[in-house]
Amino acid sequence: MNAYEVTYIIASSLSDDEIRAIMDKYAELVKNHDGEVVKIDTLGKKRLAYEINGHFEGFYVCMNYKATPATTDETKRLMGLDEKIVRSLFIRLDK
């Protein structure tokens, strides 16, 4: 298993409960594919540097996890399809 970090931006128009549900959804996705969530940091609501798909603000989340490349590919795919996710960035951490 490899170590990864994903930072993603959730639409700021959602309620706190909806934001928590999205964070839990992707943490459970990693766990269900034999991965391990190491840490989840919430960076809070921030103004974007530029407009992205009509959004000027977003809720930033950083999740560190260990998983297989297939799990990361599936997580990328689902985040790309989720309209509530404004943007995401996946990074494989060095050993």
Angle at 77 between CA 87 and CA 41, to 5 degrees: 50
Q: In the chain, where are the structural domains located? A: 2-92
The pTM of this model reads 0.90
Residues whose CB is less than 8 angstroms from the CB of residue 83 and which lie 6 or more positions away in sequence, other chains included: 11
pLDDT tens digits, the chain, 95 residues: what are they? 899 999 999 999 999 999 999 999 999 999 999 899 999 999 999 999 999 989 999 999 999 999 999 999 999 999 999 999 999 999 999 76
CA-to-CA distance for 9 and 12, rounded, in angstroms? Answer: 9
Q: Domain 2-92 classified CATH 3.30.70.60?
A: yes
